[in-house]
């Protein structure tokens, strides 16, 4: 006989009642919580480390960026400083086109501008001079022009310099010709050096001889040009060479003056020089003209102290130094 069957309503209530948890569900739940907490803690630690690393990286990049800007600024300043310094000391500039220079420097329709343009055009077309160099304007500019031509063209010593040891010329003027007054020779701004003048002159002339010999032995034009760029950016070295040229001019004047006293025929250039009241003998020439060169005036201005002869006379006097005719 079958047992009593439950009513449908009772069966429905039984289905609605929650099932009892399975065995071990509490343990699984606890492991899940522990795992979540561990992952959350690890994420917080990792997140903090990542944020710290990112902050450090950003700070490092900012530092290097600022350092780069600072170094770049300082480097740019030093480059500009060295360029300005080099440019200031470069006393003979690079070659420029002759006609372009003429058009830039001699504009307008004044009579002088027209005359200068005509002269430059004649140099260009008749004498085939294509380029020109600007020389630093100071109290040595005329001597600088002469010396640059000597070295850049590799000219050799004139014949009289080959026959004599020019290093011994200061002592020769003193002991052989009794020129004690040479102690009053001025080295540019240096007014008086006394007995030291002979040692200083000897060093200057020796330097000129060494440099001249070195340049004349170099056959490559571009190499001579590079060496000229180095030499004519060294002001101290330059001025010693100019003083040597000044002394050689004085020596030539003294030699020709001694010849004139023996009624020998002398070049017209020296006759004009000795006819001036301010340069009637080597001493007056040195005191009134040569000592001023490099100090208060240039070679052209020194010639203007007397109106009896053209001021280009002193410039022409420096040309025989390199074997040119005045």
In a domain, 39, yes or no: no
The answer to whether residue 307 is domain-embedded is yes
Q: Which residues of 38-69 are buried (b: 16+ CB within 10 A; e: fewer)?
A: eeeeeeeeeeeeeeeeeeeeeeeeeeeeeeee
> Lowest-confidence range among 45-59, 75-89, 292-306?
75-89
- For residues 175-201, average pLDDT: 81
155 Rama class: left (phi>0) / alpha (psi -120 to 50) / beta: beta
* Residue 128 within any structural domain of the chain: no
Higher pLDDT, 16 or 103: 103
Please give the structure tokens belonging to residue 100: 């372009």
Residue 236 phi, psi (nearest 5): -65, -45
Local structure of 178: helix, strand or coil = coil
Q: What is residue 96's DSSP assignment?
A: E
Q: What is residue 49's predicted lDDT score, i.e. its pLDDT?
A: 79
**Domain extent for 289:** 136-318
| Number of structural domains in the chain | 1
Residue 262 lies in a domain: yes
Asked whether 152 and 220 are in contact (CB, 8 A), the reply is no
- Of residues 59 and 7, more confidence is placed in 59
Higher pLDDT: 164 or 27? It is 164
**Residue 1 confidence (pLDDT) above 50:** no
Range of weakest confidence among 223-232, 249-258, 303-312: 303-312
Contacts (Cβ under 8 Å, ≥6 apart) of 148: 92, 133, 135, 228, 232
Structural domain contains residue 57: no
Rounded to whole angstroms, how far apart are CA atoms 208 and 245? 8
Residue 34 has pLDDT above 50, yes or no: yes
pLDDT in tens, 154-184: 999 888 888 888 888 888 887 777 788 888 8
Which of the four pLDDT bands, split at 50, 70 and 90, describes residue 29? Answer: low
Map residue 190 onto helix, strand or coil: strand
Mean pLDDT of all residues belonging to the chain = 80
First to last CA, the chain: 159
In a domain, 247, yes or no: yes
Compute φ and ψ for 76, nearest 5 degrees. Answer: -65, -40
The Cα-based distances of 52 to 39, 40, 58, 66, 169 in angstroms read 20, 18, 10, 21, 81
At 105-146, the pLDDT tens digits run 998 899 999 999 999 999 999 988 898 888 888 889 889 999
The answer on pLDDT for 31 being more than 70 is: yes
Distance CA(183)–CA(197), nearest Å, equals 6
Residue 3 lies in a domain: no
User: Band of the pLDDT at 65, cuts 50, 70, 90?
Assistant: confident
Rounded mean pLDDT, 77-92: 65
18 pLDDT exceeds 60? no
Report the share of the chain in percent with pLDDT over 90: 26
pLDDT at 204 over 60: yes
In a domain, 255, yes or no: yes
Higher pLDDT, 10 or 286: 286
Secondary structure (3-state) at 185: coil
């Amino acid at each position: 006989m079958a047992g009593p069957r439950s009513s449908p309503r009772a069966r429905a209530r039984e289905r609605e009642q929650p099932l009892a948890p399975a065995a071990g569900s509490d343990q699984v739940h606890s492991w899940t919580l522990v795992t979540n907490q561990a992952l959350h803690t690890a994420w917080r630690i990792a997140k903090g480390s990542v944020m710290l690393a990112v902050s450090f990286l950003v700070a490092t990049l900012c530092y290097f960026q600022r350092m780069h800007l600072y170094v770049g600024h300082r480097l740019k300043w030093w480059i500009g400083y060295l360029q300005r310094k080099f440019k200031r000391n470069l006393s003979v500039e690079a070659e420029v086109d002759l006609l372009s220079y003429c058009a830039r420097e001699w504009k307008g329709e004044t009579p002088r501008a027209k005359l200068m343009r005509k002269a430059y055009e004649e140099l260009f077309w008749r004498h085939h001079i294509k380029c020109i160099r600007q020389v630093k304007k100071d109290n040595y500019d005329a001597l600088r022009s002469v010396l640059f031509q000597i070295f850049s063209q590799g000219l050799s010593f004139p014949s009289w310099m080959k026959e004599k040891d020019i290093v011994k010329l200061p002592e020769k003027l003193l002991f052989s010709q009794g020129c004690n007054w040479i102690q009053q020779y001025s080295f540019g701004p240096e007014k008086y050096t006394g007995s030291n003048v002979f040692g200083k002159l000897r060093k200057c002339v020796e330097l000129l001889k060494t440099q001249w010999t070195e340049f004349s032995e170099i056959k490559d034009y571009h190499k001579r040009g590079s060496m000229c760029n180095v030499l004519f950016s060294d002001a101290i070295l330059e001025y010693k060479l100019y003083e040597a040229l000044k002394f050689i001019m004085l020596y030539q004047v003294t030699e020709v003056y001694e010849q004139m006293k023996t009624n020998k025929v002398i070049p017209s250039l020296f006759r004009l020089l000795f006819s001036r009241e301010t340069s009637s003998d080597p001493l007056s020439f040195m005191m009134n003209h040569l000592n001023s060169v490099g100090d208060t005036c240039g070679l052209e201005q020194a010639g203007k102290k007397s109106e009896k002869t053209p001021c280009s006379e002193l410039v022409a006097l420096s040309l025989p130094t390199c074997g040119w005719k005045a």
